Amino acid sequence: MTLQIATANRLTDGIVVYLGYDGEWTRHIDEARVAEREDDIADLLIEAKAAAAVVGAYLIDAEIHLSEESSRTIRPQSYRERIRAFGPSIHPAFAKKMVPEHFDPRTDVSAVFMNGI
């Protein structure tokens, strides 16, 4: 079974959010509550759908990455969800993290146009 997290857009401003362990919605994907067992996944979806503070809640497949310096990071499996989580890929100023390698904004995309003036 793949790992699942719940995501939605925040009602007030449409910003992408994830359901955290404390029942609050967070902008930080790494704080998302991860469900693996079938029961937990079902509960996660029910709770996400019931929330009034967000719009259009749904579950996505995710992977947990463990690294030495930080405890763990979460990466959505689909590139659409990675762009949702970390993008847009074209404005480094608004992107939170990097997106798939063939469009790496550090090398491929002008950082000048939007920031320059």
Partner 1 sequence: MYKYDEFDETFVSERVAQFREQVARRLSGDLSEDEFRPLRLMNGLYLQLHAYMLRVAIPYGMLSSAQMRKLAEVARTYDRGYAHFTTRQNIQFNWPKLEDTPDILEELASVEMHAIQTSGNCIRNVTADQYAGVDPEEIDDSRVWSELIRQWSSLHPEFTFLPRKFKIAVTGSPHDRTAVKFHDIGLIIKRGPDGEIGFEVLVGGGLGRTPMIGRTVRDFLPKQYLLSYLEAILRVYNQLGRRDNKYKARIKILVHETGIDALRDMVEAEWASVKEEGVDLPDAEVDRVRSYFSDPEYLTLPDHDHTFQVKQFEDPTFGRWVRANLAPHKVPGYVIANISLKPIGGAPGDATSAQMTAIADLADKYSLGEMRVAHEQNLVFADVKKSDAYALWKQLNEIQLGTPNLGLISDIIACPGLDYCSLANARSIPVAQRLQRRFADIKRQFDIGALTLNISGCINACGHHHAGHIGILGVDRRGEEYYQLTLGGSADENASIGKIVGPAFSGAEIVDAVELVVETYLKLRNSGEKFIETYRQLGETPFKNALFGEKQNAAA
Signed CA dihedral, 33, 37, 40, 46: sign only: positive
DSSP 33: P
For 55, the enclosing helix (H) or strand (E) is strand 54-65
Residues 6+ apart with CB under 8 A from 48: 6, 8, 19, 54, 57, 58, 59
For residue 37 the two structure tokens come to: 């067992």
The nearer residue to partner 1, 73 or 78, going by C-beta atoms, is 78
Q: How far is the CB of 21 from partner 1 (least distance, A)?
A: 24
The nearer residue to partner 1, 38 or 61, going by C-beta atoms, is 61
Over the window 12 to 31, marking each residue x when it contacts partner 1 by CB under 8 A and - when it does not, the resulting string is xxxxx---------------
Over the window 52 to 91, marking each residue x when it contacts partner 1 by CB under 8 A and - when it does not, the resulting string is x--xx--------------------xxxx--xx--xxxxx
Q: How far is the CB of 103 from partner 1 (least distance, A)?
A: 5
- Taking residue 61's Cβ as centre, other Cβ atoms within 10 Å add up to 13
Footprint of partner 1 (CB under 8 A):
9, 11-16, 52, 55-56, 77-80, 83-84, 87-91, 94, 100, 102-103, 105, 108-110, 112-114, 116-117
